[in-house]
Every structure is written in structure tokens, then in C-alpha cells.
Amino acid sequence: MENTIVAISTAAGNGGIGIVRLSGPKSFEIINKIFIPKNKEKEIKGYSIKYGNIINPENNEIIDEVLVSYFVSPKSYTTENMCEINTHGGMTVERKILNICLKNGAELAEPGEFTKRAFLNGRIDLAQAESIIDLINSKSDKEAKESVKGLKGELSSKINEIENKITDVMVNIEVVVDYPEYDIEEITNNEALYKLQEIKKLLEELEKSFDRGKLIRDGIKTVIFGKPNAGKSSLLNAILNEDRAIVSDIEGTTRDSIEEYINIEGLSLKLIDTAGIRQTENKIEQIGVEKSKRFANEADLIIAIFDLSSDFSKEDQEIADIIKDKQAIIVLNKVDIKQDNNETEELLQKIEKPIIKVSALKKEGLNELYQKIVELFSLNNFCNGNDVVITNERHKNQIRKAKENIEKAMDSVKNNMPIDISSIPIKQALEDLGEITGKNASEDIINEIFKKFCLGK
Ligand code: GDP
């Protein structure tokens, strides 16, 4: 890029240190004007740090005592010459230094412009840039790990692998188009169909991994489900260790659902507390009951809570029926009042779900519950740690489009359409995938993506 950009890269507010970052051809020229290093050595070495003062060159006023890191092109975040000024922190000083840089030839960076330069200069592709945003915004350890995999380019190389396979099919087809005098169409059709089938399978696998990716990114949607007074709100409170939900012994007071995120050993759980499930005349509550049934259907995990101190009721049976075919953990609550309830336990054992006894009130048994959750999701969903997992909605949509185009091509080959017609959706599939890594993403898409970054990144 022609111009040199500057931004405050640390979060707004007072911190231990603050970083003002410069990138572009004039970075070193600007720093030479505004920075007086203690060690006057002229040579600028990459990956080196100098200690000294930032001054206002207009009046030689010392602004702050700083460390300046030097990155010499192409070995920098953006691949351009870069400097990072580590100040003592504090918005006033950071703003002052920013303004001095602006007065001495730098331009204010747009959000995400440093990363955009890394992309435009070819150091990272679009999918890697998006992984950087995901890493910054990640809510759990697992999500951060997936983002780092994306950042390292694992998704990109998977996409490249599929693109190569598609190109391979295209080459086969072009042979037929270019040398129609040879009677090789029949063989090529079968071969193309076989290869397209293989490509479709790879795309499908990637598309499916999004569901797993969603659990990592959005958290495991967990519904606490149970009849009124079973202790749903108390359990939620015990888990959250604070009084965010309404706890009351008047039946049906938890009318709206409440959402909270928690982290268990690197898994992110999105907890939803719902209104008690029961037949009711009350209009507002009816909505709550319907809603909780719907939540149960959409949940990744149901924590079904039963009251050991009360008899097994029709509502309990209804809940047992609902969770039968779902990923669920049965929680028998109020062990502090009653430790066993043979009838309830026998009836619930029939649906073959893990059973944990707790006291939500006394906060007992919660560790066993957490362990069970970790066990369920480590075994079922996260065991293929080395697989590429799609966590980004845009990537999933591009993969789906590519898959649909491959299907179109397969139909067209099956229907013995002229082979150059079949090649149209194949080419389109290549373009769909190219939009993931940014090979042929439109400027609008690129701008849209980088807008999501924060200033100074
Ligand atoms: P919800 O309607 O399912 O949300 O139930 P709540 O969490 O509001 O609890 C209903 C009543 O049961 C409240 O009076 C709670 O204090 C009480 N409760 C909840 N869990 C326990 C428990 O483990 N032991 C005892 N003794 N009481 C509990």
C-alpha cells in the first residue's frame, strides 16, 4: 500500500501498557521524527526493540517514555514496515502519540485495516483473517482452539485440496471438449461421475462439521427442564453462583426464559431456564410452557430435573417422554430432604439416561453433573480433534452452494448432457469455494468481513 496507517491497538481505557501501531512505507521515517532512542545507533533491525522518549517535534515536549518494536518488511503482521510504540498506557498519552503520528505523515487506520493489509499483501487468506476475528471473540477454550486451527490455514488447505480435485475433473472434461474426434466421452462420463461423487462427499462432511462447529462457537444449548418447583431456577442459580434468575416457591413464576453462558473445562454452555411445564389456564404461562417445549426440541442438551421429595406426577412423566430421544441428563433434586425415592428412580431408569443426585439449594452434586456433561460432549462431539471443523456461517453457505453445484453437474452428466454444459456448474463450484479463501471474493464481501474487526487490528 502507498500510505502509512496508524491506530491505537489496545482496548480503550487505562491499562498497564498501550500500543500505538504504524504500518506502511513511511513507518520508520515517521518514528525517526517523533522518537528519540537512548541508543542512537542508526541501523534498524527487524524484530528489535528500542527504548527512549516520544516527543512532539514541534516543541520537543516529551510525551512518554516508551519501547518501540521494529518489524522490517516483509516479516511483519501486514508484511509492510511496521512499528509498535509501547506506551505507559492511558487514553490521554495514547491519543497524543496518535495525533503526533497523524501530523507527521500517517493516516488513521480503518477498523481491521492492518489485517486487511495482511490479506491484500498475500500473507494470509480470507478464511485465516476470519479466524483472527473468531479468535478475538471466542468465548471458550475449544472455540479459541478451532480459531487457531483456522488461523494456521487448516481450513484453507482442506478447501485447496477439494479445489484441486474439482480442477482435475475440469481438465478431464476439457480433454473431451478439445478433442471431440476421439471417442472417449463414455469413459470420461463415468470417471467424472465417480470423481464428482467423491467431491460431493468431502463437501458434505465439511458442511456437517458446522453443527459441531456451532456447538463450539455458540455454546452447547442447554435447557433446564422440569415441572414447577422441581428446582430449575435454584439449579441455575447454583451453577451460576449468583441470583440472576427468579427463585420463588409460588408455582409458575419463572415465566420468561433466562439465558446465561458458563464454561466447563473449556466447553461453553448456553444455559436456558424455562417456565415450568404444566397444563395451565394462565395465558402468559401457557406461552411459557409452549416455549419450554420448543426449547427442549431445539436444545443440544436437556437437564431434566425431578423433585425427589415429591411424588412422581403426570407432568414428570410428560417430561420423561420428551427427553427419551434426546441428549439428556436426569437430575434428581432435593437430596437434602429426601435421599431416595424408589418409585421416581425406577420409572426414570427406564429411559436410560445418566442420573445424578443433587441438592440445588445446598449446592451438592454439581461437580458430578459437570463431569457428566464433559463426558457426554467429549465422547460424542469433540473426539475428532484433528478434523477441520467449520465454525463460520459464511464458509458453511459457500460449501453448501459448491455442493449443490456439484450435484447439478452430476445430474447433467447422468442425463448425458453435452459435457461442456456439465462443466458450467463445476466451474461455479470452484468459484463458490474460492470465495472462502478470498481468491475471488468480491470487494463488498471483503469490506464486510474487515468491518467486523476492531480498530487497530
Ligand atoms: P422451579 O419452579 O423449578 O424454578 O423451582 P425453584 O428453583 O423456584 O424452587 C422451588 C422451591 O424449591 C424453592 O422454595 C426452593 O428453595 C426449593 N428448592 C429448590 N432446590 C432445592 C433443594 O435442593 N433442596 C431443598 N430443600 N429445596 C429446594
Q: How far is the CA of 292 from the centre of ligand 1 (A)?
A: 18
Structure-block grid coordinates of residue 298 = 431445539
29-61 CB burial, b ≥16 within 10 A, e <16: ebbbebbebeeeeeebeeeeebebbbbbeeeee
Residue 230 CB–ligand 1 contact under 6 Å: yes
C-alpha grid cell, residue 192? 467424472
Per DSSP, the three-state class of 216 is helix
C-alpha cell at 144: 479459541
In angstroms, the first-to-last Cα distance of the chain is 16
Output the pLDDT for position 39.
87
Cell readout for 455 is 480498530
Cβ-contact 441, 104 below 8 angstroms: no
Determine which of 14-23, 173-182, 316-325, 338-347 has the lowest per-residue pLDDT on average.
Answer: 173-182
How far, in Å, from the CA of 370 to the mean position of ligand 1? 20
- The SS3 assignment for 180 reads coil
Tell whether ligand 1 has an atom less than 6 A from the beta carbon of residue 237: no
Asked whether 51 and 26 are in contact (CB, 8 A), the reply is: no
Report CA-CA distances (Å) from 250 to 229, 231, 236, 243, 255. 8, 12, 17, 17, 12
Over range 270-290, report the average pLDDT: 55
CB 302 within 8 A of CB 327: yes
Q: What is the pLDDT averaged over residues 166-177?
A: 80
Average pLDDT over residues 324-342: 91
pLDDT at 181 over 90: no
Could you check whether the bond before residue 74 is cis, i.e. omega within 30 degrees of 0? Answer: yes
What was the pLDDT predicted at 257?
55
pTM: 0.69
Asked if residue 380 has pLDDT above 70, the reply is: no
Among 283-292, 315-324, 363-372, the range scoring the smallest mean pLDDT is 283-292
- Residue 429's contacts (CB-CB under 8 Å, 6 or more residues apart) are 166, 199, 401, 402, 403, 405, 406, 409
Q: Three-state SS for 222? A: strand
What pLDDT shows up at residue 312? Answer: 92
Per-residue pLDDT tens over the stretch 406-438 = 999 999 989 988 877 888 999 999 999 999 999
Least confident of 70-79, 231-240, 402-411: 231-240
Predicted confidence (pLDDT) at residue 277 exceeds the cutoff of 80: no
Ligand 1 contact, 365 CB (< 6 A): no
Q: How many angstroms separate the alpha carbon of residue 338 from the centre of ligand 1?
A: 13
Model confidence at 281: pLDDT above 70 = no
Q: Which of 167-181, 212-226, 231-245, 275-289 has the highest mean pLDDT?
A: 212-226
For residue 253, is pLDDT > 50? no
Q: Which domains does the chain have, with CATH numbers?
A: 5-109 (3.30.1360.120), 128-215+392-451 (1.20.120.430), 219-382 (3.40.50.300)
Is residue 448 scored above 50 in pLDDT? yes
Pick the most confident of 53-62, 278-287, 295-304, 372-381. 53-62
Q: Nearest-5° angle of CA 77, CA 218, CA 444? A: 50
Q: Mean pLDDT of all residues in the chain?
A: 85
Segment 158-169 shows an average pLDDT of: 93
pLDDT over threshold 80, residue 72: yes
d(CA 451, CA 96): 25
Nearest to 249 by CA among 327, 204, 309, 206: 309
* Distance between Cα 334 and ligand 1 center (Å): 8
| Atom of ligand 1 at shortest range from CA of 235 | 7
DSSP strand pairing (18-23 vs 220-225): unpaired
List pLDDT tens digits, range 50-64. 999 999 999 999 999
**Does residue 254 surpass a pLDDT of 80?**
no
Q: What is the pLDDT of residue 199?
A: 97
What is the atom index within ligand 1 of the atom nearest the CA of 251? 2
Instruction: Determine the pLDDT at residue 197.
Output: 96
* DSSP notation for 249-277: SSTT---S-EEEEEEETTEEEEEEE-PPP
Closest by CA position to 258, among listed 245, 242, 240? 245
Q: What is the mean pLDDT of residues 139-166?
A: 88
Residue type, 180: P
Chain centroid, CA 295 distance in Å: 22
pLDDT at 279: 46
Phi-psi label, residue 219: left if phi above 0, alpha if psi -120 to 50, beta otherwise: left
425 lines ligand 1 (CB under 6 A): no
Determine the average pLDDT of the residues in 23-41: 94
Residue 180's pLDDT band (boundaries 50, 70, 90)? low
Q: Give the pLDDT band of residue 106 (cuts 50, 70, 90).
A: very high
The DSSP secondary-structure symbol of 364 reads: B
Protein residue closest via CA to atom 13 of ligand 1? 249
pLDDT value at position 32? 95
Output the CA–CA distances (angstroms, integers) from residue 133 to 7, 371, 449, 454, in the order listed.
17, 31, 9, 9
Q: Quick one: pLDDT at residue 252?
A: 47
Judged against a pLDDT cut of 50, whether residue 248 lies above it is answered with no
Of the candidates 257, 363, 347, the residue with the CA atom closest to the CA atom of residue 308: 347
How much distance in Å is there from the Cα of 364 to the middle of ligand 1?
13
Nearest Cα to Cα of residue 230 among 364, 352, 332, 321: 332
Q: Which of 240, 247, 253, 258 to mutate to test the pocket of ligand 1 (most atoms within 8 A of CB)?
A: 247
Mutate which of 223, 224, 227, 229 for ligand 1? The one with the most ligand atoms within 8 Å of its CB, which is: 229
CA-closest candidate to residue 220, choices 267, 170, 281, 157: 267
Does 226 sit in the ligand 1 pocket, CB within 6 Å?
yes
Among 85-94, 201-210, 219-228, 349-358, whose mean pLDDT is lowest?
219-228
- H-helix or E-strand spanning residue 357: strand 355-357
pLDDT digits (tens, 9 = 90+) for 290-318: 666 777 788 899 999 999 999 998 888 88
Residues paired with 329 in a beta bridge: 303
Is residue 233 within 6 Å of ligand 1 at its C-beta? yes
Where does 330-418 have alpha helices with state H?
342-349, 366-381, 393-414
Minimal-distance CA residue to ligand 1 atom 25: 334
Spacing of C-alpha 43 from chain mean position: 42
CB–CB of 132/452 below 8 Å?
no
Q: Report the pLDDT value the prediction gives residue 429, as an integer from 0 to 100.
A: 96
Q: Which of 151, 220, 63 is nearest to 392 (CA)?
A: 151
- Total H helices, total E strands in the chain: 15, 13
In angstroms, the CA 255 to CA 284 distance is: 7
